[in-house]
Chains A and B, each alone.
Chain A
Amino acid sequence: MTINEIQDELIEDFTFYSDWMEKYEHIIQLGKELPLIDEQYKQDQFLIKGCQSKVWLYPTLKDGKVYFTADSDAVITKGLVSLMVKVLSGHTPQEIVASDLYFIDQIGLKEHLSPTRANGLLSMVKQMKLYALTLQATG
């Protein structure tokens, strides 16, 4: 599936959840599906800056595609990380760099992407693209 096909699928998934509570319960659930970062990479080097909760993110390049593993000490943040990884993992660096992540807005989580938000989701998106850009250059 392309990045946009995955986004569209997530948007449709989220239409099932009418109230905020169900939506957040679903996000927390998604956090449990996050491919976890290897403990050895849980270092400051892989920590995303600007988060009140901690987020570790580690990229690998396999067959020309980028795969992310991650973790967070807060479960809502972990769920949001999981969503981002679902959308961007398994795509080429070029696709990731060029992606337009419209799904966040459409599933009503735009507030979490605000630069003033303490969860650092925006920093995470930037970091994912930056990793892709670096891997694009080295790969």
Chain B
Amino acid sequence: MNLAGLEDFDILRVRADFPLLSREVNSRPLVYLDNGATTQKPQQVIDAITHYYRDMNSNVHRGVHYLSQISTDAFEVTRRKVQAFIHAGHDHEVIITKGTTDSINLVAQCYGKVFVHAGDEIIISAMEHHSNIVPWQMLCEDRGAVLKVIPMDEQGELDIAQYRSLLSPKTKMVAVTYVSNALGTINPVKEIIRLAHQNNTPVLIDAAQAVQHLKIDVQDLDVDFLVFSGHKMYGPTGVGVLYGKEQWLNAIPPYQGGGDMIKDVTFEKTTYNDLPFKFEAGTPNIEAGICLAAAIDYIEAIGLDRIKAYEDELLEYATQRLTEIEGLKMIGTAKSKSSVLSFVIEGVHPYDIGVILDKLGIAVRTGHHCAQPVMDQFGIPGTVRASLAMYNTKEEIDRLTEGIKRAVGMLV
């Protein structure tokens, strides 16, 4: 652990950057622990949004005029910042999308159209978010392919031996989450990718719950596709990323037809634009696309190593505090975990706990977290989930712990 890094992680300064964190909810200082759903935004991102509309609003990739040039330049700055952020080989391997869901649907449909046929198989895991299940299910239904699922154990760890045995010449894609949104498990994605490649199968990694917590190097991972969203990494809503290896992005057809994704259009034949524009039809969310750069700058200025060291310490503290609550059962106890505390309390419905915590100014999520198969495996209707960000504190964990105790006192 980088202890030197931790010492100069100034949590109060970080918190001061996020204006919303200082507001009250139900007459109490807000404790925001729903970061897995979306994170709050630092002033730097909010300023970037204002700056965009006040000084540069214009459509991108089209105009010869000044404003169009500066907004296009700014949009392309984001692409290069994303490239550096995930260490992609080329900036044209970074496709700007609407978000993780959009990115996964793009790959499922475009890759599927060419490479998936009747009888083929797609492998996902038992801990996927619905957004990394349903697009593949839709593809399988459309192509007559079969969806295979890597099982997980009681701790919420994937069974890699089972995964090995699922891989076959029929396997046309492996799509797995890096970090589970419902359990916090960090999956051994490098190993998963290596095994898939031995089988000549490409891999898509859902990094929606990973990019804000862990340093990602797509070349080191040797991943074929990697997807994430802006709004879960302190950035704007409505923007996301699809990283794809150049050879894959060139090998698959475009997603949507429209402006920007073409070279020439006649009524007889359209020739498509080069990467990355081939996959960016129509006017994008320009504001969010441009301002994602401010979120990346913010994360990089603090440093993911320091963020991870701080969040790991916070997770350990929170795990220790919560498990002292009588009747509380942690759902997801993998050895390698990130920032998620999902739990149930004997005899208490998660919804009831959520309502009482809300009254105490504490924001958590309750329910199945868009991962119903995970809940089914544990035989529960849902959990209470507290998900951490770099701006959360031990004092907030204490308030959560006290809040849960108070709720249990009322509810049991």
Return the chain A residue nearest B366 by Cβ.
A52
Contact status A20-B26, CB under 8 Å: yes
Contact status A76-B359, CB under 8 Å: no
Contact status A76-B355, CB under 8 Å: yes
Contact status A73-B381, CB under 8 Å: yes
- Count how many chain A residues have C-beta atoms less than 8 Å from C-beta atoms of the other chain: 15
Q: A118 — which chain B residues lie within 8 A by C-beta?
A: 351, 366-367
Please measure, in the bound complex, the distance between the C-alpha atom of A118 and the C-alpha atom of B349, giving whole angstroms: 13
B382 at the interface (CB under 8 A from A): yes
Please measure, in the bound complex, the distance between the C-alpha atom of A102 and the C-alpha atom of B382, giving whole angstroms: 32
Q: Would A74 and B351 be within 8 Å (CB), given that A20-B26, A52-B366 are in contact?
A: yes
| A window 28-76: CB within 8 A of B | 28, 52-54, 73-76
| B window 334-390: CB within 8 A of A | 349, 351-352, 355-356, 359, 366-367, 381-382
A1 at the interface (CB under 8 A from B): no
Q: A54 — which chain B residues lie within 8 A by C-beta?
A: 381
Q: B356 — which chain A residues lie within 8 A by C-beta?
A: 24, 76
A7 at the interface (CB under 8 A from B): no
Q: Would A77 and B351 be within 8 Å (CB), given that A20-B359, A24-B356, A52-B382 are in contact?
A: yes
Q: B382 — which chain A residues lie within 8 A by C-beta?
A: 52
Q: A53 — which chain B residues lie within 8 A by C-beta?
A: 349, 351-352
Q: B349 — which chain A residues lie within 8 A by C-beta?
A: 53, 73-75, 77
Return the chain A residue nearest B358 by Cβ.
A111
Q: B265 — which chain A residues lie within 8 A by C-beta?
A: none
Please measure, in the bound complex, the distance between the C-alpha atom of A77 and the C-alpha atom of B348, giving whole angstroms: 12
Please measure, in the bound complex, the distance between the C-alpha atom of A54 and the C-alpha atom of B366, giving whole angstroms: 14
Partner of A24, one of B359, B366, B367: B359
Question: Min CB distance, A117 to chain B, in Å?
Answer: 10
Q: A119 — which chain B residues lie within 8 A by C-beta?
A: 351
Contact status A75-B367, CB under 8 Å: no
Q: B351 — which chain A residues lie within 8 A by C-beta?
A: 52-53, 74, 76-77, 118-119
- Can you list, as one digit per residue, whether each of B130-156 has a CB less than 8 Å from chain A (1) or not (0)? 000000000000000000000000000
Please measure, in the bound complex, the distance between the C-alpha atom of A77 and the C-alpha atom of B355, giving whole angstroms: 10
Please measure, in the bound complex, the distance between the C-alpha atom of A74 and the C-alpha atom of B351, giving whole angstroms: 7
Q: B366 — which chain A residues lie within 8 A by C-beta?
A: 52, 118
Q: A75 — which chain B residues lie within 8 A by C-beta?
A: 349, 352, 411
Question: Min CB distance, B362 to chain A, in Å?
Answer: 13
Please measure, in the bound complex, the distance between the C-alpha atom of A24 and the C-alpha atom of B26, giving whole angstroms: 14
Q: B352 — which chain A residues lie within 8 A by C-beta?
A: 53, 74-77
Question: Min CB distance, B335 to chain A, in Å?
Answer: 31
Please measure, in the bound complex, the distance between the C-alpha atom of A118 and the C-alpha atom of B367, giving whole angstroms: 9
Contact status A28-B367, CB under 8 Å: no
Q: A25 — which chain B residues lie within 8 A by C-beta?
A: 410
Contact status A24-B410, CB under 8 Å: yes
Return the chain B residue nearest A77 by Cβ.
B351
Q: B381 — which chain A residues lie within 8 A by C-beta?
A: 54, 73
| B window 278-320: CB within 8 A of A | none
A21 at the interface (CB under 8 A from B): yes
Return the chain B residue nearest A119 by Cβ.
B351
Please measure, in the bound complex, the distance between the C-alpha atom of A21 and the C-alpha atom of B360, giving whole angstroms: 10
Q: B410 — which chain A residues lie within 8 A by C-beta?
A: 21, 24-25, 28
Q: B355 — which chain A residues lie within 8 A by C-beta?
A: 24, 76
Question: Min CB distance, B409 to chain A, in Å?
Answer: 10
Please measure, in the bound complex, the distance between the C-alpha atom of A52 and the C-alpha atom of B411, giving whole angstroms: 17
Please measure, in the bound complex, the distance between the C-alpha atom of A128 and the C-alpha atom of B359, giving whole angstroms: 28
Please measure, in the bound complex, the distance between the C-alpha atom of A118 and the C-alpha atom of B351, giving whole angstroms: 9
Q: A20 — which chain B residues lie within 8 A by C-beta?
A: 26, 359
Please measure, in the bound complex, the distance between the C-alpha atom of A76 and the C-alpha atom of B26, giving whole angstroms: 18
Q: Other than A21-B410, A118-B351, A118-B367, give 7 A-B pairs with Cβ distance below 8 A.
A: A28-B410, A52-B367, A53-B351, A74-B351, A75-B349, A76-B355, A118-B366
The 10 closest A-B pairs by CB, nearest first: A74-B349, A53-B351, A74-B351, A76-B352, A74-B352, A52-B351, A52-B367, A20-B359, A76-B355, A75-B352
A-B contact pairs, 10 of them (CB 8 A): A21-B410, A24-B356, A24-B410, A52-B366, A53-B352, A74-B351, A75-B352, A76-B356, A118-B351, A118-B366
**A residues apposed to B, CB below 8 Å:** 20-21, 24-25, 28, 52-54, 73-77, 118-119
